[in-house]
Amino acid sequence: MELQDLILIAATYLGLLSLCKALINFLIWVWAMFFRPSKNLKEYGSWAMITGSTDGIGKALAFELGSKGLNLLLVGRSPSKLEATSKEIHQKYGGKVETKSIVIDFAKSSGEEICKMIEGGIRGLDVGVLINNAGMAYPHVMYFHEVGLEMMESLVKVNIDGATWVTRAVLPGMLKKKKGAILNIGSASSMASYPLGVVYGATKAYLAMFSRCIGLEYRQQGIDIQCQIPLYVATKMIRGLKASRILVPSPEKYSKASLRWIGYEHICIPYWIHSVQWFVMHGLPEALLDWCIFEYSLSVRKRILNKMKRVKQ
């Protein structure tokens, strides 16, 4: 057999292996996205705690968890919003779901204060699921030097300190019973460049790394820790985007997909069209992807600045 034939055979086998690998990965994706059974969240414990639970994804997750029969510990900074959300939950589920509230402003609280308030709030409760959803973003896209000092500090305290210290307060109880699930809501901004939103993207990257590492630390203790990566969801944080049937899900649609993934991979993109979008983006050359994101951010900035000028006039 000549060298040319050997090279052709080797190339054919490599191509076949590559095709088989791609097919297997696709089948695994289809299974996980549409057919894999969700975990019984009540097996982790009878209570679920959600931070940032009065708006957007957090509120939708609270209602979805309530539909699973879990009691809800709602965490937020506004007493009136927490009370209103609790009333809505009771109206929908009646006496089937019990609710409690903890009022905390992560931007104005130290780590020690957060720990003490959470420890006091969960005392005597079987908290099996923790969802760190509270988050803060820029009011609009801006260059790093334009971010005010107070805003920069608040971004770090809410997005990083809040999730870290709440996890620190809840974890001992889960370790004691050797079971629990912790879900940190990340962002696609942590998986690619995020110009004109640098601090926000960096704080979300921390959550992804935090989740991956702490998940490895406590996997053997029966505690499932995960970071979910949503792309655009129609919330107040993403101004100007309305929910669509596919590309931009409502918080309610996203929350249904979100709960199906709790207890599985450390890092995941639970909504199927987001996963497809990321696959396409990830297939682009890095330089091209960076250019596209930057140009899009600049166009959004220009549109916002023009709108602000019109308002002033």
Share of the chain above pLDDT 70, in %: 96
Per residue in 172-196, pLDDT tens? 999 999 999 999 999 998 888 999 9
Q: pTM, whole model, 2 decimals?
A: 0.91
Q: Give catalytic residue positions.
A: 200
Asked if residue 2 has pLDDT above 80, the reply is no
The 3 state secondary structure assigned to the chain is CCHHHHHHHHHHHHHHHHHHHHHHHHHHHHHHHHHCCCCCHHHCCCEEEEECCCCHHHHHHHHHHHHCCCEEEEEECCHHHHHHHHHHHHHHHHHHCCEEEEECCHHHCCHHHHHHHHHHHHCCCCEEEEEECCCCCCCCCCCHHHCCHHHHHHHHHHHHHHHHHHHHHHHHHHHHHCCEEEEEECCHHHCCCCCCCHHHHHHHHHHHHHHHHHHHHHHHHCEEEEEECCCCCCCCCCCCCCCCCCCCCCHHHHHHHHHHHCCCCCEECCCHHHHHHHHHHHCCCHHHHHHHHHHHHHHHHHHHHHHHHHHHC
Model confidence at 149: pLDDT above 70: yes
Q: In order of start, what are the domains of the chain with their CATH numbers?
A: 38-281 (3.40.50.720)
Q: Which of 130-139, 271-280, 304-313 has the lowest mean pLDDT?
A: 304-313
**pLDDT grade, residue 241 (50/70/90)?**
low
For 204-227, how does the pLDDT look when each residue is reduced to its tens digit (9 = 90+)? 999 999 999 999 999 999 999 999
Mean pLDDT of all residues in 255-268: 95
- 257 has a pLDDT exceeding 70: yes
Q: What is the mean pLDDT of residues 82-99?
A: 93
pLDDT in the model for residue 195 = 94
